[in-house]
Amino acid sequence: MALVITKKTRTILFIVLGVLVVGGGGFLFWRINQQDTVAPTDSDASEENCVLKCTGPCGPRTMAGDNCQEDEAGICYYQPYGDSKTGCCEYEKVCNITAYHITYAAGPNGSVTKAGKNSVAPGGSISSTATPSAGYKFVKWSDNKTTAARTDSNIQADATYTATFEVVPVETVTLTYTAGANGKITGTTPQIINKGASGTAVTATPNTGYAFEKWSDNKTTANRTDTNVQASATYTATFKSTSPTAPVNCTGFTLSCGSNNTININWNLVPGATQYIARINKEPKSDWLNKEGGDVWISFTDNVNSYVIENAQSGAVYGVNVVAYSGPDGEKDFHPSCNLTSLGQVWDPPMYSEISCQGTTPIVVPPSDEIPPSYEVPPSGEVPQTGVLDTVLGRVSLGISFIFLGGLVTQYSAINTFYNGVVEKAQFRADVRKDVRKEKRVAKRRDKLERKFK
C-alpha cells in the first residue's frame, strides 16, 4: 500500500523541522558564546591532577563549589572547597601537576637554608631555617611566622616565603683605671667598649722614688689589657716607695727604773724570731771610746721577753738595745721586721735607748741563821754592848793582840820598805796590764765604729 502524504502531514513535518533547526542553532550559538567560568564537565573532572589557576583578579563566586584565593604575588588561583567562598573571574585549567614550587628568600643581613625555588610533590612538605648575620636578629617570615625554623606541609600550591631581620642594639660597658698615691695611669681611661670586646692597653706609671705594686684585682703587672669584658669595672693601681727603709724598734723594747737600783728591760715577742739579743753599756754612747768597759751581749731564747739589770750604779747612764733575730748570726741574721742592713744601725734610735736611774746602794741582809737572836740595831750615835772584856779569855786575847801590835810597830820601817817595794813592783805590772787592756779596748771600739761607717 502506498504512503500517501497529505497536505496536512506536510505542514506538520515542516513545522517540526523548523523548530529543530531553529532550536539547535540557537543552542549552539549560546554555547559558543559562554565564558570560561562554566564549571568543568564530567569529562573534564575525570582528568587527573587538574586545577583551575586564576589568570585574573579574584572576582565574585561564579558557581557552587568554586573557591578563588589570592597568593602573595596578588595572583588568584582556583581550589575547590565545596559550595562556599568566592570564585575567579578568569582562570585556566592545569592538569597532570607533578610538583609545586616553594621559594625561600632572605632579606638583608641574614640567610636561609634551601634558598631559592624548591620543587615539592603535591601534598609533600619542606623545611627551612633563617639565620641572622652578626649583630642582627631574626624577626619573622613574610606569612608572619615568628619562628626562624619552619616546616611547610601538605603543599597544594606554589608559595614564596621571605625572612626579615633587624639590627640588635649594642650593649656597652665602661673600664676605668685609676692611680693611687705616688703614680699615674698612662693610656685611655675611662674606656667605653662593646660588651664582650677588648679594651686598649694601659700602664700604671710610678713617680720618682716609687715602684708599681699591684692593681686592686691583684694583678701584679703594670701593663694590662682587659679582654672579653662582660661588665663595667674600676681598677686602681698602688705604688710603694723604693727609698731605703729606716730601722724600727721591731721588738718595741722599753726601759724603766726598778727598786733597789735595778733597771727593767721589757720587749714584745716577734712572730718568727728565733732569738733576741740585748746589748747593755754602762756609759752613754758619747763616751764609749774614752772610758773603760764595753757592751755586754746577752742572748735570749724565742720565748723570753724581759731582763733585769741588777745593782745598777745610781746616776750612771745605761745604753740598751734589744734586737730580734731570725737566725743564729748575731751580726747579720736580723729579723725582717727590724729593717736592719748592718750591725752599726743597732746603735741608733729607735733601736737604741738610754736611761739613768737614781737610788741607794742595795741593803745586803745576811742569812737569818747568822743573826744572833738578841741582835738589835742600836739607836743612832750609841755604841753597842759587846762584852769582849767580860771573860778571862777575852782579856788574854786582848793582851796578846797588843804585844803583836807592839812588835809590828818596832819593825815598821823594815816592813814598810819591803812592802813599798813589793807594792811598787806590783803596781808597775798592773799599770802595764791596764795600759795593754785599754789599748785593746780602744782598738776594738775604733774598729767597730769603722765598720759602722763603712
Please report which confidence band the pLDDT of residue 108 belongs to, taking 50, 70 and 90 as the band edges: very high
Whether 356 has a pLDDT exceeding 80, the answer reads yes
3-state SS of 239-300?
EEECCCCCCCCCCCCEEEECCCCCEEEECCCCCCCCEEEEEEECCCHHHCCCCCCCCEEEEE
User: How many residues are there in the chain?
Assistant: 454
Average pLDDT estimate for 111-118? 94
Please report which confidence band the pLDDT of residue 315 belongs to, taking 50, 70 and 90 as the band edges: confident
Average pLDDT, rounded, for the chain: 77
Segment holding 403, helix H or strand E: helix 392-410
Copy the grid coordinates of residue 349.
734610735
- Predicted local distance difference test score (pLDDT) of residue 374: 37
Rounded distance, CA 143 to CA 71, Å? Answer: 11
Q: Which CATH number fits domain 254-356: 3.40.190.10, 2.60.40.10, 2.60.40.1180, 3.40.50.300?
A: 2.60.40.10
Task: Report which of residues 57 and 412 the model is more confident about.
Answer: 412
Beta bridge partners of 131: 111
pLDDT tens-digit series, residues 247-302: 888 899 999 998 888 999 999 999 989 999 998 887 777 665 445 545 788 999 99
Rounded distance, CA 130 to CA 109, Å? Answer: 11
Residue 274: which of 318, 323, 237 has the closest Cα? 323
Whether the pTM exceeds 0.75: the reply is no
CB 174 within 8 A of CB 194: no
Q: Residue written as cell 692611680?
A: 179
- Euclidean distance between the first and final Cα of the chain, in Å? 177
Q: Which of 206-215, 328-337, 367-376 has the lowest mean pLDDT?
A: 367-376
Four-point Cα dihedral 53, 59, 62, 68, nearest 10:
40
Please compute Rg for the chain using Cα positions.
Answer: 64
Please report which confidence band the pLDDT of residue 174 belongs to, taking 50, 70 and 90 as the band edges: very high
Concatenated DSSP letters of 381-397: TPPP---GGGSHHHHHH
The ranges assigned to domains in the chain are 40-97, 100-167, 172-241, 254-356
- Predicted local distance difference test score (pLDDT) of residue 270: 92
pLDDT tens-digit series, residues 202-243: 999 999 888 898 999 999 999 999 999 999 999 999 998 777
CB 112 within 8 A of CB 147: no
Rounded distance, CA 120 to CA 142, Å? Answer: 20
Chain-centroid distance of CA 36 in Å reads 84
